[in-house]
Amino acid sequence: MRRWEEAIRCVTPYEPGEQPKGEDLVKLNTNENPYPPSPAVIARLEELKGGILRKYPDPASAELVKALGERYGLGEDRIFVGVGSDDVLALSFLTFFNSQRPVLFPDITYSFYKVWAELFGVPYVTLALDGEFGIRPEDYQRENGGVIFPNPNAPTGLYMPLDEVERIVAGNQDSVVIVDEAYVDFAGPSAAALLGKYENLLVVQTFSKSRSLAGLRVGFAMGSPRLIKALNDVKYSFNSYTMNLPAQILGAASLGDEAYFQETVDRIKETRERAKERFRGLGFSFPDSQANFLFVTHPRAEAKELFEALKRERIYVRYFHAPRLDNYLRVTIGTDGEMEKLFEFLERYLEKYSG
């Protein structure tokens, strides 16, 4: 190793799902929404013509923050926006997890948490899910420097009822508790309902899944004014202009079309419930996901082999090479047509295991 190499920060990065290119493929591997964004979003693309991109964007993203405040019934001092929720979560690790005590999160969860903890040198302890992949709120009643978990959890899709979320928040009033709600719009009520009671709670959501805007990169956090100010102070110490102007304008436009949002979310939930029936009929089992994906396993078909076979058919799903997960596939809920292609293939593929 040369001397200059010794000073390089070495990290093991998060591995995002593949983004294969091409037409006729069925992409069910990164939990994107199969429907296009609201026409109200596309309508505002017009505004980007002319000279508007010549100038820096509003560093406070005021239009987007205002639209979020109205949508969620919160003051603007309770909302922070970022470049996708990954940006919001990374800044939250940097801002709130700054103690010698370990941060707590589930052993099976969004694998980025571990990456951020290591990048920022935050000590952490992972807590095992139960035999059914559930988070046990009682495990989170111990000394810590912060708590973070997704609800619904990833990649299981399991949604924890709000009273259990509240048990974790209530039992940890000396730390910041972050609930990562990337999939909550497909599930139950948001922990945002608890914000009035707990100043140490931060609820993070994204436009990437339920609002069909993964490519735009918009995420946000809701919390007490004290938490939001701390996040803003860190952000302004890093880069004032994180959110580009198109993201601010188009993100606000998406919030203006509640009817389209509800309709597409409902459609995905209906497809998800039908997909559960189909998977069950084919012999798969899975946690009862409330998200826009299913985490499925088959008693006879080996997951990795099936993953490769699907890929040869240009059907992409997600495979995790990790203990307890390596015989499962995470399948994003696509359109009914996409799901039909998947099930037609699975029926053929599984014939060799029947009888």
Ligand X SMILES: *Cc1c(COP(=O)(O)O)cnc(C)c1O
**Positions that interact with ligand X (CB under 6 A):** 31, 84-86, 110, 150, 154, 180, 182, 206, 208, 214, 219
Shortest distance, CB of residue 274 to ligand X, whole angstroms? 22
* Pair 222, 88: CB distance under 8 Å: no
Closest CB to ligand X belongs to which residue?
Answer: 84
Residues 6+ positions from 116 with CB-CB distance below 8 Å = 89, 90, 93, 122
Shortest distance, CB of residue 154 to ligand X, whole angstroms? 4
- Which residue lies nearer to ligand X by CB, 112 or 284? 112
Shortest distance, CB of residue 16 to ligand X, whole angstroms? 10
Got the DSSP string for 219-280?
EEEEE-HHHHHHHHHHHHTT-TT-S-HHHHHHHHHHHT-HHHHHHHHHHHHHHHHHHHHHHH
- Which residue lies nearer to ligand X by CB, 67 or 346? 67
Shortest distance, CB of residue 168 to ligand X, whole angstroms? 16
Residues 6+ positions from 251 with CB-CB distance below 8 Å = 64, 67, 81, 207, 213, 216, 218
- Which residue lies nearer to ligand X by CB, 112 or 260? 112
- Which residue lies nearer to ligand X by CB, 219 or 223? 219
Q: What is the DSSP letter of 37?
A: P
Strand partners, 180: 150, 204
Among 211, 242, 252, 250, which residue's Cα sits nearest to residue 91?
242
- Which residue lies nearer to ligand X by CB, 85 or 200? 85
**What sign does the CA torsion over 314, 315, 319, 325 have?**
negative
- Which residue lies nearer to ligand X by CB, 36 or 281? 36
- Which residue lies nearer to ligand X by CB, 144 or 332? 332
Shortest distance, CB of residue 88 to ligand X, whole angstroms? 8
* E strand residue ranges, the chain: 26-27, 79-82, 103-106, 124-127, 146-150, 177-180, 201-206, 219-223, 293-296, 315-316, 318-319, 329-332
Phi and psi at 228, nearest 5°, equal -65, -40
Shortest distance, CB of residue 49 to ligand X, whole angstroms? 27
Shortest distance, CB of residue 100 to ligand X, whole angstroms? 26
